Structure 1
Amino acid sequence: MDRKELSTLTIRNLMLEVLGDDQFCKKHSNGYSFQNTYGAHQENLFMLTEIIAIEKNLIEQKTHVASMAWSDPRRNLYEGKNTDFSINEI
């Protein structure tokens, strides 16, 4: 079943929410957050944005959101392989 893609505005707002929510970040990244550490990669933000979108039922979790070490680069995102975001959302 197809779903409506998230708009750029929605994704941006989710990213800003993640950046400002220490508890959410710490819960999903082994105690790290953007406000108390340095060296995070954009992949950390992408991973956490996907998790918050799933938790808010904006996208359905069909693939496993890969956990990773903070600041550890993640492979490129591929729709339906290692992310539930569509190619346009990526």
Structure 2
Amino acid sequence: MRTEQAPLDLSHATSPLYVRQAVALFLGLPLDREFTWDFFSERISNYPELALPIRLTVHGLPRFSMAFPEEASKLVGWLRDLGALHPEMSIDLVIHD
């Protein structure tokens, strides 16, 4: 069953590992391995049974992108792909929180 809304809160992210684990949890994956953005891209492309929410709200991205610009860029690219592959899903980025 799809949930109405899910947060992806990066407000307290102190490392790229934190963000990748947050994305893994969002996708319902156990934290039993190292995750890469290629793995996440493959997951959203090839697993139509993913129980994605109707709306994803991302908090803390501006702050995280200041500390880890390369990782933030990969996350934004992945979110863009997620939106393209799942147009029924709304992705909201909170700029000020």
Q: TM-score when scaled to structure 1?
A: 0.30
Structure number with greater CO (CA < 8 Å, separation at least 6) is 2
When you count helix as a share of all residues, which structure comes out higher?
A: 2
When you count strand as a share of all residues, which structure comes out higher?
A: 2
